[in-house]
Chains A and B, each alone.
Chain A
């Protein structure tokens, strides 16, 4: 049984079908990449999975059970953590406070939440910044904080939305290392990414969409050589060659 199953997902904004009949499934323990050109509907799929926006049609199953229509916080409690592409730090709280707030998802006392938060911060390499206000972090740190917060909710499935966007080459390598480490802990990852270096290195399987529709699915190598994918990214002329 797949950990996450997306069945015929459709999301319309008025007359625009941002996601049209997309289906895929994520197996337990894998790193599943979701790629597509700008505006192809990747983030919308994420938003539908944790019901940040309600889906128009289709169904999403987590561990075999539907989560359609569940409240966003409920979905988090079920074990799906997410990060935002446009980072949403709790600005005036400290880095530590941010992570403590999300650790309360699984524990009730401040002591337990603190312990959990310290572990997660260390894992994500943010321990030295713990007392800084979240808004003072540079973009690389904020992206890390997004991951740390999501991890503190102890997810089984982690949705990473362009965590590597806007990072410099060194930060990029660190980010890849961090994501690999998360995968090694047995957390299943569904990742949206534009940067091919990241997605090609870490994904077990990749699902490619364009204009809200599936155009390819397979291993990184298969998808990279798929004519439909090349056409979507580079244009008609390159697809033949």
Chain B
């Protein structure tokens, strides 16, 4: 009950944010963080709960983004329709990716998705007739204010986390975790592992694709090196989930805010206060952060919350 109340309060604070904070800059950061909540949570569903570690979530993000973009440039329809369809097109791509990659297990699946991500990136660069290649796609933003984007991102993030939460309490959730723990045992317990691995992949692809389509709408410009990027999308999705806590419902949400925060602090060179070279160092800091998390908080911020609380408490006691 107390937990529910806390969630309502947090939700309310998030709802009020754009009314209180008038700065476009901070709103932008929140929008990006909320988008990462969606991507991190959907990555977590596939990798954290089903045990299929994907290094290729940029496939779905980019597909969603390009779906929205091409709706405008090729079909002349609003990119918001593209946002409705981005997730569905990503699912269709997910069927193809799944039919190939899901035959593999463990690290081999990860490597196959890694290769898949690169294939899509190269495809988007070279298929200029469709994607305009490296020129990218530029559309008009619908809203001048950032507040509408903020609310859309917020709804999307809440929906994604809530769907994961509901899913993990049902038959499907138990099946996904069983597959993660031991695929052979799961199969002999009457679980159609092929079907449920695909289910997990498709749900994950849907939300990541929707996030991608949202990104197109919000940023109004995409190019293959950004939306199909291994570094900025696929790896970032993994970091968000690892830092926040793999296989926890709220982990990726915390991870998203932490990572976007850290990224921004360093990208802006300590908000302009530090020397310029710091802005070049954010990749290095990501690396150090991941090493720190793996060594001391192996289950992430949420997974090891009790550990964090205990150590903070002890420090306070000793001083």
Q: Give B49 Cβ to nearest chain A Cβ, in Å.
A: 11
Q: Of residues 148 to 199 in B, which have CB atoms within 8 Å of A's CB atoms?
A: 169-171, 174-175, 177-178, 181-182, 184-193
Query: What residues of chain A lie closer than 8 Å to B184, measured between beta carbons?
Result: 52, 88
Say whether A104 contacts B171, CB under 8 Å.
Answer: yes
- Size of interface on B: residues with Cβ below 8 Å to A: 19
- Which of B171, B181, B190, B191 counts the most A-chain CB atoms under 10 A from its CB? B190
Whether the pair A101, B174 counts as a contact (CB closer than 8 A) is yes
- Chain A residues, Cβ within 8 Å of B182: 88-91
Of B169, B178, B193, the contact of A90 (CB 8 Å cutoff): B178
Contact A100 B174 (CB under 8 A): yes
- A71 and B192 within 8 A (CB): yes
Residues of chain B with a CB closer than 8 A to A92's CB: 177, 181
Whole-angstrom distance between the Cβ of A86 and the nearest chain B Cβ: 10
CA distance A113 to B170 in the complex (A): 10
**CA A149 to CA B185, docked complex, whole Å:** 10
A-B pairs under 8 A by CB, number? 73
A73 at the interface (CB under 8 A from B): yes
Interface string of A67-92 (1 = CB under 8 A from B): 00001110011000010100011111
Q: Assess whether B189 is in contact with A102, with CB atoms less than 8 Å apart.
A: yes
Which residues in A have their C-beta under 8 angstroms from that of B187? 52, 71-73
A113–B190 touching, CB < 8 Å: no
B contact residues around A89 at 8 Å (CB): 181-182, 185
Set of chain A residues within 8 Å of B169, measured between Cβ atoms = 110
- Kindly identify which residue among A52, A91, A109, A153 contacts B190, using a CB–CB cutoff of 8 Å: A153
Residues on the B chain within 8 Å of A41, using CB: none
A93 touches B192 (CB 8 A): no
Partner of A102, one of B181, B190, B193: B190
How far is it, in angstroms, between the C-alpha of A101 and the C-alpha of B171 when the chains are bound? Answer: 7
List, sorted by A's number, 18 A–B pairs whose CB atoms are closer than 8 Å.
A72-B187, A73-B190, A73-B193, A82-B188, A88-B185, A90-B181, A91-B182, A92-B177, A101-B178, A101-B191, A102-B189, A104-B174, A104-B191, A109-B171, A113-B171, A149-B185, A149-B189, A150-B189
Kindly list the 10 A-B residue pairs having the minimum CB-CB distance in the complex, ordered from nearest.
A76-B190, A105-B190, A90-B181, A88-B185, A102-B189, A101-B174, A72-B187, A104-B171, A101-B178, A88-B182
Known pairs A88-B185, A93-B178, A101-B191 / 11 extra A-B pairs, C-beta < 8 Å:
A72-B187, A76-B188, A89-B181, A91-B181, A92-B181, A101-B178, A104-B171, A104-B191, A109-B171, A150-B189, A153-B189
